[in-house]
Amino acid sequence: MGAGKRILVIDDNPDILDVLQSLLMSEFAVDTALSGEAALGMVKTEGYYQAILCDLMMPGMTGMELYSKIIAKFPGMEPRIIFMTGGSPSSLVGDFLVGRQNRVIEKPFEIAPLRQLLSTIAK
């Protein structure tokens, strides 16, 4: 089990959460949330999660809104947030990503580089 490295995965697709949890649980303590609203309540302090993996396109609170809310509360979290996308159906997403340093992972993803990225960020 992940020695104290705690990550949060947010996606509206429970199968994605399930798969990611199974694949990452050997290295991290993986929490999951099915919506931005649920995730917001789980980020209690700035250091609680070492990395956050967040889907951009979700019904209800989008990944972009969740991101803004988290960094408004905990500005230090900004580099720890990684986005996932299944392709960008909205020009909003494109505009949002312009000029941001955050890493964006395209679905479907190779698990080894993702593990490595998370390890680097969660240091």
Partner 1 sequence: MGRNYETFFELSLDMLSVSDMRGVIRDVNKAWLTVTGWTKSEVVGKSMYEFFHPDDIPMVEKNMIGVTSGKPIRNVEIRYRHKNGHYLWLNCSGTPSLDTGEIFAVVQDITKQRELESELRRRETFLTTLIDNLPVALFCQDGSDNLKIVHWNKMAEEIWGVPKRDALGKPSSELFERFHERLQEADLALLQRGEPVELAEEPVDSGNRGIIYLQTKKVPVRDEVGKPRYLLGISEDITDRKKLEIERAKAFQQARMASLGEMASGIGHEINNPLAVVHGSAAHLKTLIEKGGAEPDRLVSLCEKIENTSMRIAKIVKGLRALAREGSEDPLRPVPVVSLVEETMELCRARFAFENIKLNVSEIPNDLMVDCRAAQIPQVLLNLLSNSYDAVVTAKERWVRVVVKDRNGVIEFAVEDSGAGIPVEARGRLMKPFYTTKDAGKGTGLGLTISKGIAESHGGRLYADFEAPFTRFVMELPKSHGGRS
Position among 60, 68, 113, 120 found at the interface with partner 1 (CB under 8 A): 60
Position among 12, 35, 97, 102 found at the interface with partner 1 (CB under 8 A): 12
Determine if 33 is a binding residue for partner 1 (CB under 8 A): no
Omega cis (within 30) before 108: yes
CB closer to partner 1 out of 76 and 94 = 94
Give the chain as a DSSP string. Answer: --SS-EEEEE-S-HHHHHHHHHHHTTTSEEEEESSHHHHHHH--STTS-SEEEEES--SSS-HHHHHHHHHHH-GGGGGGEEEEES---SHHHHHHHTT----EEESS--HHHHHHHHHHHT-
* Smallest separation (angstroms) from partner 1 to the CB of 10: 14
- Within a 10 A sphere around the Cβ of 6, how many other Cβ atoms? 15
* Smallest separation (angstroms) from partner 1 to the CB of 102: 19
Residues 73-102 that bind partner 1 (CB under 8 A): 85-90
Determine if 116 is a binding residue for partner 1 (CB under 8 A): no
Position among 2, 6, 23, 69 found at the interface with partner 1 (CB under 8 A): 23
Please give the residue ranges that form the binding site for partner 1 (CB under 8 A).
12-13, 15-16, 19-20, 22-23, 57-60, 62, 85-90, 106-109, 111
